[in-house]
Structure 1
Amino acid sequence: MIKDEYCLVWEDSFDREGMPDPEKWNCVVSGGGFGNHELQFYTAEPENVCVEGGKLRITARKQERDGHAYTSAKLTTAGKADWQYGKVQVRAKLPKGKGSWPAIWMMPNDCRGDADWPLCGEIDIMEHVGWDQNRVHATIHSGLYNHRRKTQRSSSVVLEDVSGVFHDYELEWTPEAMRFRYDGAEIACFYREEPGFETGKTGWPFDKPFYLILNVAVGGDWGGEVEAEALPFTMEVESVRVSQKKV
């Protein structure tokens, strides 16, 4: 085995019907806006999250729950699987409609919400907002570089029909850099040692394990005005794979 060759360490190909594998995924049950004034309440109900026909389906619906006008789902691997460096590859088809805000992203184990964010770091492998159809974004956040300061390190690209066909969203994360590839083409590379950027923990807190998150938010600071007649919003995920280099 070549030392630098990547080896598969974790995957879900969604080959079971019903709810996602509880040994791999947590279903968040919560609301409150999540720091972005989002409108959904996350549930673990089958109408919001299920596996059907080899695909994970996360669906936001016009449905009142605990004072929220919408329901949806958020899955995480927190406490079950996390990784420091490697490749994360997710094959997904995104929802369509103004107000949808799907994301494939990562957070560290030591983050306790707003008390630690953004110093703890955040890796957004893919984000999309329905009012800007077909444009997808890759972003990293840190104490110095984040959307609250409008200094986030980010890149975006327009793909063909993100809501009609599946696309591959990939992060390759090493101690030196983060490379983002969509359908195999690199759309961004953020280097740890890059002129003009701070390399300490406030600028690069990406030297610790992060876990994976899949969700569909509704509205909020970036999701914007909701086109209610466009709901339900569904993100389908065909596979998730994590690979790391053999030590």
Structure 2
Amino acid sequence: MKYKLKWKDDFKKDGKPNNEIWTYETGGHGFGNNEKQFYTDNLKNAYVENGILNIVAYKENYENNEYTSAKLTTYGKKHIKYGKIIVKAKLPKGNGTWPAIWMLPVSIQNGNPWPYCGEIDIMEHVGKNQDYVHFSLHSKKYNHQVGNQPTHVIKQEGVTDTFNDYEVRWDSESISFYVNNEHHVTFKKNSDDSVEGWPFDEEFYLILNLAIGGWWGGEIDDSILPAKLQIQSVEVYEKDWYMWISE
């Protein structure tokens, strides 16, 4: 299958992230995971410098939270249904960090609650398991609250030292996960095509964030803060049906 580039952000302009693509999602209510950070829209928590988007977590008191960080989304600006998404990222190091590259459906903003709505985790990482990255799907039937979500873990050394391509390829029948163009796992719709089991046939939006602590992030080592999730590029492709048919 051939793909053509639909849009990309390679972070060429210093300062705040491109507001034609990214929106800050702010708040500090734990997000159902007992997370400890407050997501701000402050420049120091998310800024572009020398071609890199930096999402930075600090140890500081803010709105009754002890940490700050940032969460950027493409909601309302760049929505995605099927295709290929590649995010080139370098992950933070240290206990308590919990970076994620993931997607939620547009419908969650219009009353379709989690986990009914679905979730695609392109990459999750926790600092206490330094050399491992996780790929997962969540739905009403299959999610982490009941412990039966489709998930896959790989050992990927050097994730905090170098930039790696985290990629998902998504169509109406399956969702596949790659790192540096190497395929690791495919989750298929199979016979369960109900919306409760496969809610992945609608528009989603992309999310980049760095959480601190929480049920999964675990105990926080304050000595490693500030910590950075760094993004070098985001590329979104759609299937090139003309190229496919003409082959």
Alignment of structure 1 residues 57-96 onto 2, 5 Å: 57-96=54-93
Deviation at 1:156, TM superposition (A): 1.0
**Matches of 2:148 and 2:110, distance apart in 1:** 20
Query: Which of residues 232, 237, 240 in structure 1 aligns to 2:231?
Result: 237
Letter matched to residue 203 of structure 2: P
Structure 1 pair 158/229, CA: closer, same or farther in 2 (3 Å)?
same
Letter matched to residue 221 of structure 2: E
> Residue deviations 1:209-246, cap 9 Å, x none?
00000000000011011011111110100000000013
Match of 1:157?
Answer: 154
Query: Which of residues 97, 100, 106 in structure 2 aligns to 1:100?
Result: 97
> Residue deviations 1:47-72, cap 9 Å, x none?
11100000000000001100000000
Deviation at 1:5, TM superposition (A): 2.2
| Matched residues, number | 241
Structure 1 pair 97/114, CA: closer, same or farther in 2 (3 Å)?
farther
Query: Which of residues 207, 212, 218 in structure 2 aligns to 1:218?
Result: 212
Larger helix fraction of residues: 2
Match of 1:18?
Answer: 15
> Residue deviations 1:84-127, cap 9 Å, x none?
10000000000001000000000001114996110100000000
Match of 1:138?
Answer: 135
Structure 1 pair 91/200, CA: closer, same or farther in 2 (3 Å)?
same
Q: Which runs of 5+ in 2 are unaligned?
A: 242-247
> Residue deviations 1:178-206, cap 9 Å, x none?
00001111111000116xxx321110000
> Residue deviations 1:15-71, cap 9 Å, x none?
000000011100112110011110000011121110000000000000110000000
Structure 1 pair 113/31, CA: closer, same or farther in 2 (3 Å)?
farther
CA RMSD of aligned residues (A): 1.3
1:35–1:114 CA contact under 8 A, matched in 2: no
Q: Indicate yes or no: 2:205 matched with 1:208.
A: no
Query: Which of residues 178, 201, 213 in structure 1 aligns to 2:175?
Result: 178
Q: Secondary structure of the residue that 2:166 maps to in structure 1?
A: strand
1:24–1:81 CA contact under 8 A, matched in 2: yes
Match of 1:9?
Answer: 6
**Matches of 1:31 and 1:62, distance apart in 2:** 14
Letter matched to residue 146 of structure 1: N
Q: Which runs of 5+ in 1 are unaligned?
A: none
**Matches of 1:172 and 1:237, distance apart in 2:** 19
Match of 2:240?
Answer: 246
Which TM-score applies when normalising by structure 2? 0.95
> Residue deviations 1:102-158, cap 9 Å, x none?
000000011149961101000000000000001000000000110000011000111
Q: Indicate yes or no: 2:36 matched with 1:39.
A: yes
Q: Secondary structure of the residue that 1:34 maps to in structure 2?
A: helix
**Matches of 2:29 and 2:111, distance apart in 1:** 13
**Matches of 1:93 and 1:166, distance apart in 2:** 4
Q: Secondary structure of the residue that 1:110 maps to in structure 2?
A: helix
